[in-house]
Amino acid sequence: MEAAASSSSVEQTVDVAQWEENVKSHHMPRADLNKLVMEYLVKEGFKDAVLSFEGESGIDPGVDMKILDEQIKIRAAVESGSIQDAVELVNDVDPEILDTNPKLFFHLQQQQLLEYIRQGDVEKVLDYAQKELSARGEENPEFLEELEQTLALLAFDNTSASPFSELLEHPQRLKVVSELNAAVLASQDQTSESKLGMLMKLVLWAQDQLTKKGLKFPKLANIGSCKLETD
C-alpha cells in the first residue's frame, strides 16, 4: 500500500516534442475550424474580418450585418471613452438590453466614472458617484466593491501607483465592449459567448487539473501567442 501511494505521487514529465506530437495526432476538419473562427469574429463584432473571412472560407456569418455595424459603433464609442454615446447606441438597438441587465448597466456607469478620473475631474467623479452609483452599491455588495476600487484611484496623485491602476488601462474598456457585444447578440437571439472562447477556458481548466495531478507538461501560458511553455 505504501509503495503504491509513493508511486502515485511521483511527478510525471512530458517534453515539448512529445506533447506537440500528441496534439498533431488529433485531426479536426478545416471546415469545423473555419466555423469556430467565424463565430468568434461575429461575437466580437469584427465586421471587416467577418467579410474577409467569408470570402476566403465561404462560411456564412449567420448574422445580420446591420448588427455588426452597430457593434462597431458601440466599440468605437467605448474605446474612445464616449460612454454616453455607447449607451444611446445600445438603446437604439434595443432599450431593454440595459433595462434588463443591471450588471452591464453598472459597468457602463463605472466606465463613465473611470473616464472622469482619467480626465482628472475630481468634482465630476464625486458628483457622478453620488448621484448615479452610490445607491447601486448599497443594493449590491459586488457593485459596492467595484465602486470602492474605482474611487480608491483618487487616493493617488499618480494613478499608476494604485493597486487598481489596471482599471484605467485599455483592456478595461475592452472588457466593457465584450459585455456589450454579448448583450447585443443575446437580444438578437444569438448566443453570447463564442465556442472558441469556451474552448480556451476548457484548455486552461484542463491544464490546471493536470498540474494538480503532478504532471509536468508544456502549458499554453499565453493564449495570445499560442506558445507552449515548460515549467
Do 162 and 177 fall into the same domain?
yes
* 116 and 149 fall within a common domain: yes
The secondary structure of 188-227, three-state, reads CCCCCCCHHHHHHHHHHHHHHHHHHCCEECCEEEECCCCE
Residue 127 has pLDDT above 90, yes or no: yes
In this predicted model, what pLDDT tens digit does every residue of 142-181 receive, in sequence order? 899 999 999 999 999 999 999 999 999 999 999 999 899 8
Q: For residue 10, is pLDDT > 60?
A: no
Q: Is residue 24 part of a domain?
A: yes
Q: How many whole angstroms from its chain centre is CA 15?
A: 31
What are the two backbone dihedrals, phi and then psi, of residue 229, each rounded to the nearest 5 degrees? -125, 145
Residue 9's pLDDT is: 45
Domain count, the chain: 2
| The pLDDT value given to residue 225 | 66
| 173 and 73 belong to one structural domain | yes
Report residue 35's pLDDT band, with 50, 70 and 90 as the boundaries. Answer: confident
pLDDT mean over 218-227:
72
Please tell me whether residues 171 and 207 are part of one structural domain: no
Are residues 72 and 44 part of one domain?
A: no
Residue 197 sits in the same domain as residue 183? no
pTM: predicted TM-score of the whole model, two decimal places: 0.68
Residue 36, pLDDT above cutoff 90: no
* Residue carrying C-alpha cell 472622469: 116
DSSP 109-125: HHHHHHHHHHHT-HHHH
Question: What residue numbers bound the domain in which 6 lies?
Answer: 1-48+192-231
Q: What is the pLDDT of residues 184-205, one digit of tens each?
A: 888 876 665 677 777 888 888 8
User: Please, what is the average pLDDT of the chain?
Assistant: 85
Check whether residue 44 and residue 71 sit in a common domain. no
φ, ψ (nearest 5 deg) of residue 188: -105, 20
Q: What's the whole-number mean pLDDT along residues 117-146? A: 91
Q: Retrieve residue 135's grid coordinates.
A: 445607491
Q: Identify whether residues 2 and 107 lie together within a single domain.
A: no
Tell me whether residue 220 is exposed, middle or buried, using C-beta atoms within 10 angstroms of its C-beta: 0 to 12, 13 to 18, 19 or more.
middle
* Same domain (yes/no): 77, 183: yes
Please give the distance of CA 98 from its chain centroid, rounded to a whole number: 18
